[in-house]
Structures are given as C-alpha cells and as structure tokens.
Structure 1
C-alpha cells in the first residue's frame, strides 16, 4: 500500500489522488471514464509514468486513446514504452500516421521495432481488415456516464457499444437504441447482450467472411489471444476487400499476376504473363490435335469447319458460368470440397436443360442455312453433350485444385478453356463422324 511517506509531494490532495491511482487503478479508471478529457488530464497529467501505466492498463478503448492524445509527446512516448507491447501497439495503432512517427522518434529503437512487429499482420489475416478506432466501456458504469462519454468523443454512426469486464475482456454489447432509452442510473451490465461471435486478429479472412454471413453482422469484434478488444471489422470494408480479391482472382484465373497494375511497365507485364501464355499455347496444341484426329471428316464435309467455333464457343461459355458460380461458392465458404457431387450434379442438370434449349435454336438455324437435317441433328446433339461436359468441368476444376491444396483461382480459366475446347471439338466432330451416313445420304 502506498503511503504519504513514499510519495514525493507536500499537497495533501495530491497525496490522496496519487495514492488512489496507485493502489486502486481499476476504480480510478472507472472514475476517469466518467470525466471529460480536459478534466481527466487535469487530474492525472502530472502523475509519474509508473502510475499512468497502471491506470492506462485499465482504461477502456476510446477513453485511453483520447487521453493519450492529450498527454505531452514525451510523456506519451514514455507511457507506451512502459506498457506491455500488446496494449501499447493497440494504442498506437489508433493514432494517425504523423503522430505515430513522432512518438516512435521519442522511443528506444528496440521498443519501436517490437511495436512495429506487433502492428504487422499477415496479408489475409483479420487484423489487416480491422478498424482500431473504437470505443468500449466497462460494464459497471452507468448509462448516463456512457452517454456523456459518447457526447464528449463525438462518436457518430454507432450501432452498438461493446462492454468490457474489470479485466478488460470483451464481455457483451449494448444496442445503441436500447442505451438511449434506458434510465440514466442503470448499469450497462443490465442492458448487456451476449456477443454473437468474434474473430482473433490472426484468423484468416475466409473465417471472417463466414461468420459475418452466418450471423448477418454489420460489424464483428476482433480480439487478441487474451480476449482484449483490438478493433472491429465493418461489413462495408469487408465487402470492399472481397471485391478487390475478386478482381485479383480474375487476373490470376487468366494467368495475370496479382502484382500487375494498369500502369505497370511493359517488361514487367511480359515477365509475369509469358509463362502462362506458353502454357496456354501448349493446351491450344492439344485442342488442335483433337481436330487433327478428324481431318478426313472435315475435308469431306467442309460445313463442319464453319460450325466448329459455335460448338467450342457455347461449351466455353457454359464452363465459364459454372466456374464462376463454383469459385464464388468456395470463396464465400458457401460450399466445401465435400459438396463436389451436389455441385456437379446441379451444374450438369442446368447444362442439360440449357443445352436442349440451345440445341433447338441452333438446330433450326443450321437447318435453315444448310437445308440438311443430318447437319442440324449433329450440331444439336453436340450442343447438349459439349455444354454438359463443360459445366461438369467448370464445377470440378476449382474443387479439384482446392482438394490438391492449390489456389482454385490460379489459372482455372486456362485449364477450363482446354477442357471445353476439347469437349466441344470432340463432341461435334465425334458425332459427325458417327452420323456421317446421314450427310452422305444428303439428309
């Protein structure tokens, strides 16, 4: 227990104030949280760093951030060095870039390195998506005090308030409308609702997407390994990130590097694209080899060469549609690899129905053009078979890549194009060879 003898001051009120802060930091933090920033700084601004460190360790997010900005820069830097690395990194992450650099310049190099390490998260981690500018309150303060703090900090667009227990662990949440209608003397704990879900800072982005979708959340809290609130992820920022990922996936699906930008140099683009163009050329030769197998048939019935692009084009479009839907399902965790049969059957069924509709339209068009029932039947049957095979391939390619531990977005389009070209050519020319007697008979 601190006593007046151990505190170097002669002012009785200052002695009591310092003793209270030193011996009862949690109670002091609750009292500070009810004050305006100016009042709080007046009470604690002259305290030594070792006392401020105990106080800041118990202040709720939002209050701690606001008061840190009011401290002299040298005192703030010393306080951050005195705090544990985790809480210190969380505090400094809520400051603007200019303020961060100023405080870093006042700290020891080893501490700066440690804090910067704590501030960095893996590329696809939840920590990369979170907003650290948050406000939370201890569950034992009153509604009136909470509303006063919200007014003092001028918080806008707030849907609910996160609550912490005395050990600073995330413990509940209060809907802002319920808070506004409650009696001023009520404790926040009496209004508390359980937090439906949360993520840790190092959880993968896919898990964040899955939880936001499952619980229909507009925000999701992010905690550290000790259940301390670090920040929140907004649904809007998550959607923006997903859109960027989809754009990036569109590039990788066709063999373009994620690093390439519209204004990248030509040489950079060549280095990134050339390997995949060579692979694409190899697959094109494979498709050409299929056509070569039916060289005699094409030479005998030249109309087949005219209709080849139709067969390949329709199968390619069908495969691309199935690929897009399956990729979206895998990305948003709507499906997993265990759903492969269900997804494949669904895409095959849709392709058969679409194939029949396209076969009727295409068959009638070819009949009017060629006056050949045999050629019309061949193209109609080819539409159904090639579109069905392409849809199955479009569903299976990303699932197989996922099962092999590969990124399903990585050049799926190139693989699928090869499959659909071969399926289209093989179906059309194979059926033509089998039904060549109809063409010979002039049917």
Structure 2
C-alpha cells in the first residue's frame, strides 16, 4: 500500500507501529520502506528526492519503477495524519496472507503422507501458535549490535541498580546469584530421590506465579491433588501430613484452606498438567495451548527421565534422554519461556542417563541434604543449594532451611 509508506515522511507514528518491510505485499514497497528506515537511522530528511537518492545508492531505484513512482506514492496519500491507520491495514492484510500460507503448508504436509500423525500434529500446533502469538512467515534480518545497544544499557542499569532481571525462584540468595529465571533458558534441578527437588521446583513455580507470571507445572509423578496439598501446606503453613490423613485438620486449619482458596488459588496463574502418558509431544502441546490461552512464562517438567520420545530401534536410552533435554531447550526458545527440568542423580551424584542435560541448561542446581544419612547431624533441617553451572554468574553453594513438614524451602533469614 503506497499510502502507508508515503505517510512515513510526515508522521513518525507510522514507523512506531513496528511495521516491517516484509509486511508489504509488493517487493517495490518493501524496498522503499527499507530505504526510508535507512534514512531515518542516519538522521537524514525523508522526502521523495532523498528516498529516490537512497534507492539509487542501493541500486534499487529502477526496480521500484524509478523516481516518478516514488513521487506518485507520496501524491497518493489521502491524508498523512492517517499513516498509523494505513500501517494497520497493511499489517492486517499481511497477517491474512501468512495465515493462508500456514494453512497451505499444513495441507501440503497432510496430503504428502510424510511422517506420522505426531509429526502432523506438531506442525499444526506450531503453525497455529505462530498465528496466535505473532505474524507467521515474516522474517527480518537479525539486529546489529547497534540495534541491541539501548536494550543492553537498559538491562545493565537494572543489574547495577540491583533490580531483578528474571522471575524469582522464591529464594533471595538464589535470585541474586543467577539473576532469576530468564526466558529462553533452562534450569535443571537435580537430586537423588527423596531429597526435595520437586519441592524446590514447586516452590519456585508458586513464587513466580505470585508475581503474575504464567506457569505450567507438568508432573509425571504426583497427581493434581498431591500438588495442591503441597502448595496448601507451603502457603498456609499447614503440616503436610495433616492434609493427607483422616481428620487431620482442625477448624483453624480449615479456615486457612478456605482463605487460600479466596486469596491465592482463585487468582494464581498456575496450571497443573497431568498427562495421560509421558510423551514429550504431549507436554509441548500443552505448553503451546497455554501460549494460545494467555501466555506462558515458566514451564516445569517433573521429571526429565520419565519423559518419553519416539524411539527408533537403534537409539540408546542416553540418546533418548538427550533428545528430551534438547526438545525442552528448543521449546524454551520457541515459546520464550523459562523451563525448569527436574533430573534424577545416580548414587555417585552424576546426572542419570545423559550428560547432555547439563550441556543444554543455563543453570544447574543440585539439592543436597546433610541430614539425609545423618539424622543427628548438627545441620539437621538445612539444605545445600549447589549451583554447579551458572551462565549468568559464579558457581556457589547456598544454604536454605528445609521445612519439609510444610513442603517448602525458605531462606535462612526467614527462620
């Protein structure tokens, strides 16, 4: 639409809509748009003469129809003040075209008989999610470091001012060392069975959700009821065994449960996903459904070694677990969410069945309880949060209080 870019030179708001060259249908208008962007970045005036000169410098003036066409585009603008509205019309048309292209790709793949039904479903979900989240099929060149500089400085100021960059884990010391949970990254929480990795992950999920983050907890071990019991115990300071045994609650504790329902559960943006199976594609489907239904900031998978992938005859168990790890890393990038993946440790303290788990993670946390083998240990009631890998800071060992009767870990300062 020539009227859209023709309004660029008069109304800066047209560019502030975020419209990109790829959203224009005609290649000539795409080239003209890029020329205008180039002039504005160079703080040069934008008018038919300068735009034509910039196109000539790029060797594109003849391709768009020459200087007369550039002048005709400007003359075609009914009123420059409506530039932003024209841009939205262009964007709407682009969205329809790309939606049609997505549908065409789905049809072609379905008719081709390539892959199996899981491959078809995965393609459909990816295309639909792209349509809902943003305009699919539009690809711009990666930004230069100059384009990234202002965002870099803004983030640097937040760091220097001590402001939280990522979502909270629920433990202040852990947030300080790692800067919190950032989108597009994976945190692995690893421990031997019974130490409390699920407790730490659920505490983190609730803490993030209480800040307004949209969270999905996918449990392959615990039922939805068990998860609700643990959240109620931690948030209401109700001993977990009182919630799980007959006549365990007194009237005051029942009042606490009712209060949690009104003040916490009804508004907490935390979803609990209990898949019928344990397949990675089921978790991916549920995560994409969350994105389509309001968004997803944090995905928790409990736990990694229980997740299944389609296996060929020749794939080893280590390769299968590595495929799950890589799949969750890719999902965090595609959906721009943070993934917390729980992992079992062997008796020797190594990641069970795959070294790829640590490679794919940005942060690796091992949970260790000194009193597991020594009930009379002077450190009874403490837990070590061992940050074994940290792309955002140093490795460290933090100590927290293990209030497992409340199904929670808290900072030592809170005890």
With normalisation by structure 2, the TM-score equals: 0.20
Give 1 or 2: higher helix fraction: 1
**Higher relative contact order by CA 8 Å / sep ≥ 6: 1 or 2?**
2
